[in-house]
Structure 1
């Protein structure tokens, strides 16, 4: 290990990796990262594509992802100003993982509903 490298352990309560996992475990972050995997997208296009996300939450999530080096923000001097977001090389390393997680939920919802019903019947009230 070089002097700049540290050993990180996600199971330790003070490990900074926990903050990164907290950011990535957010449903909006997963959806945004998945949406950006095909290339740069404008702010309003992301907002239209991800149903239910508010402008405020989208802006906050994009800032957090940018701060963590996962996405880049490009401003174009148009009227009105155009802002475009894209995955960084670091963010691109998450593409397969994020996509698998997001689409795993789609593929397994019926099984999850069955499990929930079975649990609820076995554990009433």
Structure 2
């Protein structure tokens, strides 16, 4: 999953920096693979314990399911929670926007660390 450029950058960070890299976020591709052979992986935990997150959600904006009127939209966000240098939770979140009002419409937990009682590294 790692490109040679990214692998080199991460290796240099490990050598020269006191900081760890718990999460690499990028955005590429639609959920369905171009070959038609299923869905792409959104999350991979590498041998280096780095979590790689493909945060692309297509479409990012869709009509809201909370209203029959065409004025509202739902907007996608990928949210990652990190605590003490560890990825605790990753969620695909849909926020409903109707006029000046916003509210959580959907949240799909993609990943939760074992310390939180669950581990979901799923395909969307």
- Common fold, TM-score beyond 0.5? no
Give the structure with higher Rg (CA). 1
Q: Larger % of helix: which? A: 1
Question: Normalized against structure 2, the TM-score is what?
Answer: 0.23
Question: Normalized against structure 1, the TM-score is what?
Answer: 0.22
Q: Larger % of strand: which? A: 2
